[in-house]
Amino acid sequence: MLACASAAAAAAVAYGAGIEVSLARSADDQPPEWVQIFPEGRDVLARDGRKWTLSDPATLIAAFAANQADLPLDIEHASELRAPKGEDAPAQGWIKAIAHRPGQGVFVQIDWTDEGAAAWRARRYRYVSPAFVHTRQGEILALTSVAMVTRPALYVPALARVEGQLPQDPSMSLLTRLVAALGLAATTTEDDLVTAVTTQTALAADARNPEKFVPAADLQLAIARATTAEGKLAEIETTAQTAAAQAKVDDAIAAGKLAPASREHWLSIAQANGEAFDKAVASMPAVLDPTKTDKKPGATEADADGLTADQVALCAALGVEPTAFAATLKEQA
């Protein structure tokens, strides 16, 4: 945390090393009524590297007013460290007010106890350190106590409380505790708080509604099933397309428009682009006699002239009579 000084000594503060409480000594040797706990400025930096934000000192003042109870001035943060464990944590004074002095910082008004005043006069503690509630983002919300310490700004567990770990002081208003727990602004009204709680409750209810949300495992299973179904559907469609292409080619062969020997060639075309295949076959004349071609594509039996289907197709392509071609083959043989 940061050290502090009285209003009279504020101009002589050495912020790098902390602020000495004992610098301001009155003629009657009384401890200072007003003590600085935060320097002027938005950023609050600790000597151990931690940092927080005090966007508006009015936040602290409003939280103190809402608390409606004095806060303790103790020794070495006893209120934060010893009291929760049931150990003795006597107050050395009571904080009666918080004030912001522009250009100087945030000060607290202290009503010292006799024990606290004696400790101050003996210079047993030279610095003070505030304990406060802050959000997880580091925004300071409310002061909870101030301690007289020997070494300021060193790491002390629970010195700066995180939202959700509010002091269990029954005097702190429920509104202040809920506002801090939800991370809302210190200026939040009761209506704003109700709206925030209602929103959170609705979100929690939605999270439990099976019609709006499903467990991740069920979602992954549904995705896997859909992927498998898509794969099977694609396989079925491919098989159907292949069968349709084969039927088209076989029909064209049976019609005498294609030679059985060229079946695989035309089958690849029919599978790749059925529309182009249909246009090509529609423009072809029937050059082969279906009665002299094999009914089963790929068969090699001879026709009446002793020619195979491939030889008959060749004759058609060359414009040669099959009978003459068969006679020529016999002469060559």
Domain end among 170, 186, 202: 186
pLDDT at 161: 39
Give me the sheet containing 140-149, strands edge to edge: 34-39, 105-112, 93-101, 71-75, 140-149, 127-134, 160-162
The number of angstroms, rounded, from the C-alpha of 190 to the middle of its chain's C-alpha atoms is: 30
Is 264 found in the same domain as 175?
A: no
Question: Can you give the pLDDT at residue 138?
Answer: 83
Asked whether residue 192 is domain-assigned, the answer is no
Written as six digits, the tokens of 11 are 């101009």
- Domain co-membership, 182 together with 221: no
Stated pTM of the model: 0.43
Which domain-ending residue is among 165, 186, 207?
A: 186
Instruction: Classify residue 203: in a domain, yes or no.
Output: no
Asked if residue 197 is part of any domain, the answer here is no
Same domain? 35 vs 182? yes
Q: Which range of residues forms the domain containing residue 158?
A: 7-186
199 in a domain, yes or no?
Answer: no
Cα dihedral 199, 201, 204, 208 in deg (nearest 10): -120
Task: Say whether both 237 and 297 belong to one domain.
Answer: yes
My answer on whether 40 and 114 are in the same domain is yes
List the pLDDT tens digit at each of the 333 positions of the chain: 443 333 333 322 222 233 444 435 555 678 888 888 888 888 887 766 778 888 999 998 999 999 899 999 998 888 888 888 888 889 999 999 999 998 888 999 999 999 999 988 888 887 888 888 888 888 888 888 888 887 765 333 323 334 434 444 444 566 776 777 777 776 777 888 888 888 877 777 666 566 666 667 777 887 888 888 887 777 777 787 888 888 888 888 888 878 888 888 888 888 888 888 888 888 777 766 655 554 444 444 556 677 777 777 777 767 778 888 788 777 766
> What integer pLDDT is reported at residue 64 of this predicted model?
93
State residue 178's pLDDT score. Answer: 76
Q: Is residue 191 part of a domain?
A: no
Q: Looking at the structure, tell me whether residues 123 and 12 fall in a common domain.
A: yes
Same domain, yes or no, for 127 and 175?
Answer: yes
On whether both 140 and 237 belong to a single domain, the answer is no
**Is 11 in the same domain as 81?**
yes
160, 36: one domain = yes
Overall domain count for the chain: 2
Listed residues 146, 170, 186: the one ending a domain: 186
Query: Does one domain contain both 145 and 19?
Result: yes
Any domain includes 322: yes
Same domain, 151 and 248: no
Residue 70 confidence (pLDDT): 94
Has residue 28 been placed in a domain?
Answer: yes
**What pLDDT shows up at residue 114?**
93
User: Do the domain assignments include residue 291?
Assistant: yes
